């Protein structure tokens, strides 16, 4: 899970909201997840992400991108596509993806 929130991004930017249901720790998931984090961080325009998972298996990941081109670069990455296909077949019971344009953003952090 993400321990630090993504804050201070000047709009507009885009979000990819991924919600899923899967078992707690399916075989091979952690390694693939680590590799996907490495890949997405190399995409110009990637701004960060936040993730959380409930004990019941519901997960939410929000990734932030400067523009649609950077988000599309992530969507079209061949390793990412292969991981998505594998996940549909082996890990996920269900998932949803929502893409949004952020026009207003603010944050708070206690000092």
Q: What is the pLDDT of residues 81-101, one digit of tens each?
A: 999 999 999 999 999 999 999
Residue 73: partners with Cβ closer than 8 Å, 6 or more residues away:
43, 44, 45
Q: Which two tokens stand for residue 63?
A: 């990734």
Q: What's the pLDDT score for residue 77?
A: 97
pLDDT of residue 29: 87
Average pLDDT over residues 52-67: 92
User: Is the CB of residue 14 less than 8 Å from the CB of residue 64?
Assistant: yes
Contacts of 44 (CB under 8 A, 6+ apart): 70, 73
* Percent of residues, the chain, with pLDDT higher than 70: 97
Tell me, what's the pLDDT at 3?
66
């Amino acid at each position: 899970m993400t321990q630090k929130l993504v804050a201070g991004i000047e709009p507009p930017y885009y979000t990819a909201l991924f919600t899923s249901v899967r078992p707690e720790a399916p075989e091979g998931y952690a390694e693939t997840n680590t590799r996907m984090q490495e890949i997405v961080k190399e995409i110009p325009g990637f701004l960060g992400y936040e993730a959380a998972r409930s004990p019941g298996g519901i997960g939410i990941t929000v990734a932030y991108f400067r523009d649609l081109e950077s988000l599309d670069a992530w969507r079209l990455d061949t390793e990412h596509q292969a991981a998505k296909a594998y996940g549909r077949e082996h890990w996920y019971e269900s998932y949803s993806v929502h893409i949004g344009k952020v026009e207003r953003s603010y944050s708070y952090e206690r000092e």
